[in-house]
Amino acid sequence: MFKFIKKADWLLNGSLVIIASAGLLVLASSSPDLFIKQLIFFLAGMVFVLVAPAFDLRHLINYRWLILSILVFSILLLLSVHFVGVEVNGSQSWIDLGIFRLQPSEFSKVALILVLAAFFSQRHIGIKRPAVILGSFAYFAVPAALILLEPDLGSALILFGIWFGFLLVAGLPAKYIVAGIMLFAVMGLVAWNFSLKDYQRNRIMAVFNPEADPLGVNWNIIQSKNAIGSAGVFGKGFKQGAIVQLGFLPAAQTDFAFASFVEEWGFLGGAVVIGAFMVLIWRIAVAGFLARGNFNKFICLGTMIFLGLQFAVNMGSVIGFTPVIGVAFPLLSAGGSNMMASMFLIGIVQNIAARKNA
């Protein structure tokens, strides 16, 4: 048992601790109540990451019913949101459990990764067959549709990225990729005209016109840029970030947690966080490359996509390159559901890394 824990990737562990600690510093500075909650989630997740290598999960692939049950359970949670969920910022995406709020969309991402890993581990050779593509699409489409109804465009796009990433790595032919891009371009035009709400359109347009409506749709991004731009090399110091402390930056603990951190800890602190995230992705990639069996390789792939996409979209939002759609910076942004989903997947990766030669 302990020999596998010793074989865990401690560079990976160190990088996730650095990122999570930066997020905790943001909360300690601006929201002590959230700090306590996030600390509890982090410690619980860290316990799982540390002990996960002790358990032999290699036979999980043989229990298809268990993997499908996880997906079905996540879908049931998504359904329950529409009946008992609480609305926050216009989106009914949370279930209030009293001591904390559960966001089922985060766990649907984990479930999709597990299901697609099992699916493509045996069917990647037949990726040219439409039945295989459509079969994998069905696993993505059901939870994505329920999430879009909340509405939560950000989570739905992350689900799409996970599914499409699996297709690419499984060897989807170029002609299918081109056809898919054309199809989704058409669907995007339809959604723009008939499905997207006004505020969603405004957020997308704000990317192309960053100076428009500075007191409205572009307020968050302008304040985020101000927080980063005024930080300097070493930052303004703990609890000294005026833009965050005075409440000029909305969602300072969630969507714009990175900007909040940089304002107080400077470009140097931001570089450390980004560097730690790059190390995290690199070690997951190494674990996948050395893993035995397609299922394990696809689990690592899915984890990389899950974390990498969220990082890219969140950072794009912080500096105004992508619309603000409520996607968290993994391990840094406040949010227990995202923290636990990320730590669960990292724990599975640690299990794979520790047992690569077993």
Distance CA 275, CA 357 (A): 28
Q: How confident is the model at residue 292 (pLDDT cuts 50, 70, 90)?
A: confident
Distance CA 138, CA 293 (A): 24
Q: Does the structure show a pLDDT above 80 at 332?
A: yes
Q: How confident is the model at residue 75 (pLDDT cuts 50, 70, 90)?
A: very high
> Could you state, in order of their start, the residue ranges of all structural domains in the chain?
2-354
151-175 per-position pLDDT tens digit: 888 899 999 999 999 998 888 888 8
Over pLDDT 90: what percentage of the chain? 54
Contact 314, 328 (CB under 8 A): yes
Distance CA 297, CA 149 (A): 32
Q: What would the 3-class secondary structure string for the chain be?
A: CHHHHHCCCHHHHHHHHHHHHHHHHHHHHHCHHHHHHHHHHHHHHHHHHHHHHHCCCHHHHHCHHHHHHHHHHHHHHHHHHHHHCEEECCEEEEEECCCCEECHHHHHHHHHHHHHHHHHHHHHHHCCCHHHHHHHHHHHHHHHHHHHCCCCHHHHHHHHHHHHHHHHHCCCCHHHHHHHHHHHHHHHHHHHHHCCCHHHHHHHHHHHCCCCCCCCCCHHHHHHHHHHHCCCCCCCCCCCCHHHHCCCCCCCCCCCHHHHHHHHHHHHHHHHHHHHHHHHHHHHHHHHHHCCCHHHHHHHHHHHHHHHHHHHHHHHHHHCCCCCCCCCCCCCCCCHHHHHHHHHHHHHHHHHHHCCCC
Q: How confident is the model at residue 65 (pLDDT cuts 50, 70, 90)?
A: confident
Tokens (6 digits) for 358: 């077993």
Distance CA 1, CA 153 (A): 42
312-329 per-position pLDDT tens digit: 999 999 998 888 888 999
Contact 317, 203 (CB under 8 A): no
Q: How confident is the model at residue 4 (pLDDT cuts 50, 70, 90)?
A: low
The pLDDT value given to residue 87: 82
210-228 per-position pLDDT tens digit: 777 677 778 889 999 999 9
Q: Where is average pLDDT lowest: 75-89, 120-134, 158-172, 208-222?
A: 208-222
Q: How confident is the model at residue 35 (pLDDT cuts 50, 70, 90)?
A: very high
Distance CA 4, CA 341 (A): 22
- Most confident range (mean pLDDT) of 19-23, 49-53, 82-86, 189-193 is 19-23
Tokens (6 digits) for 351: 């299990």
224-253 per-position pLDDT tens digit: 999 999 999 999 999 999 899 988 998 899
Q: Does the structure show a pLDDT above 90 at 185?
A: no
